[in-house]
Amino acid sequence: MSIDQIVSEALRLPVKQRALLAGSLWESLEDSFEGSLVSDDAAATALAVERDRQIEAGEVQVVAHDDMMTRLRQ
């Protein structure tokens, strides 16, 4: 089953079941990204400020959410 088919089926679920599914999927990812998670507010703020600086300086290019999701589904 493709991601698009899974999403289509998942969106047919009642709201509470979709929320439970989303929570389960999110929890399954947490361990994979544990090393890269920002652990405190100061670090999160510093990261946000650095990302903003990179965008303003033209060092990185902003990608719209919809565009990123399309890329990820390919």
pLDDT digits (tens, 9 = 90+) for 1-58: 899 999 999 999 999 999 999 989 888 886 655 555 556 788 888 989 999 999 999 9
68 lies in the same domain as 51: yes
30 lies in the same domain as 47: no
Domain range for 29: 1-36
Please state whether the predicted TM-score (pTM) of the whole model is above 0.75.
no
25 lies in the same domain as 52: no
Per the CB < 8 A criterion, the answer to whether 7 and 18 are in contact is no
List, in order, residues 6 or more apart from 71 with CB less than 8 Å away. 63
| More confident call, 66 vs 29 | 66
pLDDT of residue 60: 92
29 lies in the same domain as 57: no
pLDDT of residue 64: 92
Position of tokens 């493709």?
Answer: 2
30 lies in the same domain as 42: no
How many domains is the chain partitioned into structurally? 2
Bin 12: left if φ > 0, else alpha if -120 < ψ < 50, else beta.
alpha
